[in-house]
Each structure stands twice: as C-alpha cells, then as structure tokens.
Structure 1
Amino acid sequence: MSNNCQDNNCVDFGQSAGVDACCSSQVNPVTQPGNPVTGQAVLRVPVTLAERRVSTVLSTHINFPDSVLEIKDIKKRVKIVQCSLMLQPVTCPEDAYNLADATLVIKGFVRKNIQYATPTSDISADCVSSTLRSLTTDVPFECMTIIPASAFLSRPQRPVLNARAEFDFFRSQSLGVGFPEKDQLLSSDLSQFHQTSTAYYNQLPFCEILSHNILEWDESVDRSGLGVNAPFEEGVFTRISEKMVLNFDIKVLQNQQVVVNPLTFIPPTNNGR
C-alpha cells in the first residue's frame, strides 16, 4: 500500500470543502428516578441565604514616589478576602433551621491604580513637560453588619455543637486495714475513664460579590508652586488625603440538601416503525 502522507500533506488546505446541512433530533435526558413513595429527589445545591448591600467609609493618605503635577485617572477594583456569616450554633440537629439574627464579617481591599503626570526638567513660563506614571496600592477595609432573621431569603442551616460526655461504672472495693471487714468502698473506679463524643461537620456559608459603587474624594495636602520660571497656576504635590464611600452588593450562599420534583422521563416513540 502506498503512503500518500510522506510530506504531511494529507489535507490540502488550498481547497475548500462544502458544508452541508446535518439533521438533529431531540434526546430525552436521563435523570435520577424520583423517590417511589414521595415522587421527589434530594439534591445538594448552593442555596441563596441573603443578598445584602454593604456600605462603609474609608479614609487614608497616599504618598507618591514622584512629584505629581495632576492625576489623570484612577481605576478601582474591590477585592473581598474574607466573608464570614457567623451563625449562632444549636445543640440539637433538629433545631438547625431555626431562624436567628446573624453577623456578617467582611474584610477586603480597594485596589487603586492611579495614573498621574510628573513634571520633567523642561519647564518654562509657557509650558510644562511631563511624563505619565502610575502607582498601584491597596486600601484595606473591614466591617461587620447584622442580618436580621426576617431578612433571610432562605433559612440558613446553623452549626450543631459537638458534644462529649463521661460515664462511670459502679465498683465495690475493700477498705483495707483499719476498717471492718464487712464494710466496702462503694464508688466508681478512678483508674478508668469512659467517654462518648459526637462531632458534626457543618456546612460553611460563603459569599459572592455582585457589584460595587465608590464615591471618592482625593485632595492634595502639600501642594506647592513650580517656581518663578513656570506658569503661576501650576504646582506639584506628593501626598493626597483620600475619602471613599464604598457600597457593594454581596450574595451569601450555603450548600444545603433540598427536596425537588424530578423530571419525568418520557420514552421516545417508534412513530409506527
């Protein structure tokens, strides 16, 4: 048999191939059969507990490595590094879905990329030459807010406390020399230790950030003029005072087991064939 692929030219890319229409038909998905008694299935899925708009105020000072003639642009991004829904634990698993207020603790940063112009040595009374540079910094924030029990969209599954309990066995022992022979020490045995322990592996709530809005004021605190050989209104600074009003929407979720109605499987027909 001859080999027609010696030069790796099995496909000639210089010619186009026709594309014809192909047929498709509906396929019934294969699903888990429902419970024969209730006709339902149990799924473990992320359940939305709450969607909250969190507001906080940030105030900081930023120092620049260069003299700043003016700020050209500031790009911001909110980064959440910790979002913990602190639920009050219960002692009994049957009480895990009892509603109660919860505390949401959030920690993160506002990443800022500041683009600014810094003057060069080419300065005259008519013009100021400058170069564009940037400074990237993280402005931290940390806050906590209460989610009332009535504000939950779905009931959170509260953690169940672990439990430990000791138990003893009765033992009768001789009192020894100096006591009547008929008398006995009736107690437990101090040389033995017995315990039962129960631990629950609870599901930890988690968060997703949906959107943010930032109102920002940046003001220089050390601005000075460029000198007599520069336009009188021009000046530079190296330090700004910053205030931000930060608002962001956050979704709080938790993996839970929920009962759903399964899809009904409809077998395909033979269409008379």
Structure 2
Amino acid sequence: MADQDLPCPVTSTEQLPLTVEPTQIISLEATPTIKVPVVLAEPTLQIVLESTITLNPAATEIKRVVKNVFLNQVKLVPVAFKPIHGTDFFKVTRAKLFVAGHIRKNIEYASAECNGALQDRIADVPFSGFADIKTFLTKPILGVSEDSKTAFLNEQNGLVPRLDKFFFQNLVKYNEQPFGELVAANFFEVDFSPVITSPEGSFSTITEKIVLDLTVKVLQTQQLKLNATQQITVPPQGTVGS
C-alpha cells in the first residue's frame, strides 16, 4: 500500500473521570431593593403605508422580498397624571406614544436579460405616527421640578418691597426616561406594477401597499423592593476564613 493511501494520524488523550459533589447553599430571607427596567406597556401598533419603488434595470419577475424594521424613535409623552399620596411624585395615567423608523426592503428580481443574474434593490420606506396609551402594565413615575421666589420688604419703609433682594429656591428632579424596544413586526403586503405587462414584458416601478403590525415594549427604570430569598454558596471546608 502506498504512503498516500494511509489514513492521517490523529492524536487523542484519554480523559480522566472527575468527582462530583453537591455544593452547600444557605438560604436567607431578604427584602432587597433593586433598580431595574420595568415594562410600562407592550402595544401592537398597526402602520399602513403605500410607496412606489423604481427598479433599474427593469424587472420581468419579482422573486423575493425580505423586510426588516428599524426604529429611530420611541418616545412617551405623558398627558394625564395621578399624584402619589405622601410624595410630590405622580403616576402617569395616559400618554401619547410617538414612533418613527423605516422598513428596509431587499427586493430580488429577474431582469429581461436572457440567463441574467438576479438583481437586488434595497429600499428604505419611512414611517411615523403616534398612539394613545390609556392602559399601562406598570404606570410610569415622574417627579415635577419646582422654582420658588421669596420677596422682602424695605427695611426703612415697610410700605414698599425691595426690588433688589430676593431669595430663590430651585428643585430639579431627574427622572428616568421611558424608552422602547422592538419586539416583533408582522408584514401584510401587496406588490404590483402600476402598468400591467405581458408575461415576457418588463416593468421599472412597483407599487407597494403595506400593513405592518408592529409590537414594541415601552420601559422605565424603577426602584423596587422585593420579597426574596438570598442564597449564599458555601465552598468546601479549608478555604481562608472558614
């Protein structure tokens, strides 16, 4: 047998079995305070669009259309509030949700060229709008900033004020900004040439009618106190300090 017919040698190492022992875990009751993103709302918004896209070179047949959504704005604007008893903070009970972005479309199509390569056209279809949010899973919390001004009487004439002396107090509350996350996009779409062509004819524009069901998650970082179980892992005996 020739050397080139021999199998290639492979180096292997036999693995030794390792012992496995459960690690002791001690559980303690705890009520930790955490600061985490909280879901305020998770609405599904329906966006209806119509657009016209040019194709160069002209197409004879659309093969595939791949779509994705890109968001560049998810902004919550509160419009109704309820005071939190015992504080100067408010819960938002109603808000307008502004959403803007674009649908990125990748259109693959065949041209009139005989045995030609598939053509590729990428188009961004912008959209924007707003929705009325009346129901929250967890209500947003906002604190209102305050300015106050104290005036003084003239020391020499108690009948007139001093216009050159004031005390100012300025309270600024820095709130956690609600933000958004993209969850899902469901497309319903009809693409067609504005001018009906023959089976071997070509067309250079397509009209698209799109219905997009867009699901977004609106969140705000909030501070929460939880009833939890604190767990401490206890290593085997022999560690420093045991």
TM-score grouping bracket, smaller chain normalisation: 0.7 to 0.9
Instruction: State how 1:10-25 maps to structure 2 within 5 Å.
Output: 15-22=11-18, 23-25=20-22
Residue 141 of structure 1 aligns with which residue?
127
- How many residue pairs get aligned? The number is 226
1:111 aligns to 2:104 (yes or no): yes
Following superposition, the deviation at residue 185 of structure 1 comes to: 6.4
Q: Unaligned regions of 5+ residues in structure 2, if any?
A: 1-9, 238-242
What do the CA deviations read for 1:34-91 (whole angstroms, capped 9, x no partner)? 4xxxxx2211011111221111101111111211111111000011111112124769
Q: Unaligned regions of 5+ residues in structure 1, if any?
A: 1-13, 35-39, 121-127, 174-183, 226-232
Q: Give the structure, 1 or 2, with the largest relative contact order (CA under 8 Å, sep 6 or more).
A: 2
Aligned-partner Cα distance in 2 for 1:89–1:196: 27
Aligned-CA RMSD value: 2.9
Q: Secondary structure at the match of 1:221?
A: coil
Following superposition, the deviation at residue 193 of structure 1 comes to: 3.6
1:169 aligns to 2:152 (yes or no): yes
What do the CA deviations read for 1:2-59 (whole angstroms, capped 9, x no partner)? xxxxxxxxxxxx743222222243253898x84xxxxx22110111112211111011
2:182 counterpart (201, 206, 209): 209
Residues 30 and 19 of structure 1, relative CA distance in 2, 3 Å threshold: farther
Deviates more, 1:240-249 or 1:255-264: 255-264
Residue 57 of structure 1 aligns with which residue?
48
Deviates more, 1:215-224 or 1:201-210: 215-224
When normalised by structure 2's length, the TM-score is: 0.81
Residues 191 and 108 of structure 1, relative CA distance in 2, 3 Å threshold: same
Larger radius of gyration: 1
Q: Secondary structure at the match of 1:253?
A: strand
Aligned-partner Cα distance in 1 for 2:150–2:90: 31
When normalised by structure 1's length, the TM-score is: 0.73
Residue 87 of structure 1 aligns with which residue?
78
- Aligned-pair identity in percent equals 29
> Which protein is richer in strand relative to its size?
2
* Matched letter for residue 73 of structure 1: R
Instruction: State how 1:156-235 maps to structure 2 within 5 Å.
Output: 156-157=140-141, 159-173=142-156, 184=157, 186-222=159-195, 233-235=199-201
